[in-house]
Chain A
Amino acid sequence: MTTAVLPAGAATAPRSAPLGRLLGAELTWVLRRPRTLVMLGVLALIPVVIAIGVTVVGGDVPGPRGGPGLIGAIAGNGLVLPVASITLALALLLPMAVTTAAADAIAGEAASGTLRGLLLAPVGRLRLVVMKAFGVLVVATLAVLVIAVAGLLAALVVVGSADGQLVTLSGTTIGLGEALGRVLIMVVWTVGQLAAVGAVALALSSLTEHPMVVLASVLGGLIVFGVLSAIPALDWLQPYLLTSGWTAGADVLRDPMVWDGLVESSLRALCYTAVGGGLATYRMLRRDA
Chain B
Amino acid sequence: MTSTDQTTDRTTEVPTDDPATAATAAAAGFAARAVGLRKVFGPTVAVDGVDLDVPTGSVLGMLGPNGSGKTTLIRMLLGLTRPTAGRAELLGHDVGAAAAAALPHVGALVEGPGFHPFLSGRANLSRVAAAEPLLGGRPLAPVVDDALERVGLAAAADRRYRGYSLGMKQRLGLAAALLLPRRLVVLDEPTNGLDPAGTRDVRRIIGELHAGGATVIVSSHLLAEVEATCTHVAVLQSGSLLAAGELRTLLDTGGSGLVVSTPDVELALRTLREVGVTAYRTEDGVAAADDGPPAPEVIALLVRAGVAVHEARRNRTNLDELFARLTEETP
List the interface of chain A (C-beta within 8 A of B): 1-6, 8, 10-18, 21-22, 24-25, 28-29, 32-34, 112-124, 286, 288-289
Q: How far is the CA of A288 from the CA of B212 in the complex (A)?
A: 32
Contact of B132 among A2, A5, A121 (CB under 8 A): A121
Q: How far is the CA of A32 from the CA of B212 in the complex (A)?
A: 38
Contact of B212 among A2, A8, A14, A29 (CB under 8 A): A2
Q: Given A1-B208, A14-B136, A117-B128, do A122 and B99 touch, yes or no (CB 8 Å)?
A: yes
Instruction: Check if A34 sits within 8 Å of B118, measured CB to CB.
Output: yes
Instruction: Check if A114 sits within 8 Å of B116, measured CB to CB.
Output: yes
Q: Which residues of A contact B183 (CB under 8 A)?
A: 5-6
Closest beta carbon of chain A to B175's beta carbon, Å? 11
Q: Given A6-B181, A8-B18, do A112 and B133 touch, yes or no (CB 8 Å)?
A: no
Q: B20's closest neighbor in chain A, by CB?
A: A11
Instruction: Check if A114 sits within 8 Å of B205, measured CB to CB.
Output: no
Q: How far is the CA of A124 from the CA of B79 in the complex (A)?
A: 12
B105 CB within 8 Å of chain A? yes
Instruction: Check if A32 sits within 8 Å of B119, measured CB to CB.
Output: yes
Contact of B100 among A8, A16, A116, A288 (CB under 8 A): A16
Segment among B107-115, B235-243, B255-263, B267-275 that sits at the interface with chain A: B107-115
Q: Which residues of B contact A288 (CB under 8 A)?
A: 75, 80-82
Q: Which residues of B contact A115 (CB under 8 A)?
A: 114
Which of under 10, 10 to 19, 20 to 34, or 35 or more describes the interface residues of B?
35 or more
Instruction: Check if B130 sits within 8 Å of A120, measured CB to CB.
Output: no
Q: List 24 A-B contacts (CB under 8 A).
A: A1-B178, A3-B211, A5-B183, A5-B212, A10-B18, A13-B104, A13-B134, A15-B104, A15-B133, A16-B100, A16-B133, A25-B131, A28-B123, A29-B119, A32-B118, A34-B118, A115-B114, A116-B80, A116-B110, A117-B114, A120-B80, A120-B110, A121-B128, A121-B133
Q: Which residues of B contact A119 (CB under 8 A)?
A: 79-80
Of residues 78 through 108 on chain B, the ones whose CB sits less than 8 Å from some CB of chain A are 78-82, 99-101, 103-106, 108
Instruction: Check if A122 sits within 8 Å of B104, measured CB to CB.
Output: yes
Instruction: Check if A4 sits within 8 Å of B212, measured CB to CB.
Output: yes
Instruction: Check if B133 sits within 8 Å of A117, measured CB to CB.
Output: no
Q: B161's closest neighbor in chain A, by CB?
A: A112
Q: Which residues of B contact A32 (CB under 8 A)?
A: 118-119, 123
Contact of A3 among B104, B113, B182 (CB under 8 A): B182
Q: Which residues of A contact B99 (CB under 8 A)?
A: 122
Q: Which residues of A contact B214 (CB under 8 A)?
A: 3, 5
Q: Which residues of A contact B118 (CB under 8 A)?
A: 32-34
Q: Is the interface of B mostly helix, strand, loop or mixed?
A: loop
Closest beta carbon of chain B to A271's beta carbon, Å? 31
Closest beta carbon of chain B to A8's beta carbon, Å? 4
Instruction: Check if A120 sits within 8 Å of B208, measured CB to CB.
Output: no
Instruction: Check if B181 sits within 8 Å of A4, measured CB to CB.
Output: yes
Closest beta carbon of chain B to A21's beta carbon, Å? 5
Q: Which residues of A contact B182 (CB under 8 A)?
A: 3
Closest beta carbon of chain B to A29's beta carbon, Å? 6
Q: Which residues of B contact A6 (CB under 8 A)?
A: 18, 105, 134, 181, 183
Contact of B130 among A1, A21, A33 (CB under 8 A): A21
Further contacts, 8 of them, CB under 8 A, given A1-B209, A28-B123 = A1-B212, A10-B21, A17-B135, A22-B130, A117-B128, A120-B80, A121-B104, A122-B103
Q: How far is the CA of A60 from the CA of B3 in the complex (A)?
A: 89
B150 CB within 8 Å of chain A? yes
Q: B79's closest neighbor in chain A, by CB?
A: A119
B213 CB within 8 Å of chain A? yes
Q: Which residues of A contact B213 (CB under 8 A)?
A: 3-5
Q: Which residues of B contact A112 (CB under 8 A)?
A: 114-117
Q: Given A1-B212, A4-B181, A34-B118, do A15 and B101 touch, yes or no (CB 8 Å)?
A: yes
Closest beta carbon of chain B to A79's beta carbon, Å? 38
Q: How far is the CA of A261 from the CA of B168 in the complex (A)?
A: 56
Q: How far is the CA of A114 from the CA of B128 in the complex (A)?
A: 9
Q: Mark B210-221, 1 if CB is under 8 A from A, else 0.
A: 011110000000
Instruction: Check if B181 sits within 8 Å of A3, measured CB to CB.
Output: yes
B15 CB within 8 Å of chain A? yes
Q: How far is the CA of A121 from the CA of B130 in the complex (A)?
A: 9
Of residues 111 through 150 on chain B, the ones whose CB sits less than 8 Å from some CB of chain A are 111-119, 123, 126-128, 130-137, 150
Instruction: Check if A14 sits within 8 Å of B108, measured CB to CB.
Output: no
User: 10 tightest CB-CB pairs across the interface, nearest first?
Assistant: A113-B114, A3-B212, A11-B20, A25-B130, A121-B131, A1-B208, A122-B103, A8-B18, A14-B133, A15-B100
Q: Given A2-B181, A117-B176, do A11 and B21 touch, yes or no (CB 8 Å)?
A: yes
Q: A122's closest neighbor in chain B, by CB?
A: B103
Q: B15's closest neighbor in chain A, by CB?
A: A5
Q: How far is the CA of A289 from the CA of B133 in the complex (A)?
A: 19
Closest beta carbon of chain A to B135's beta carbon, Å? 7
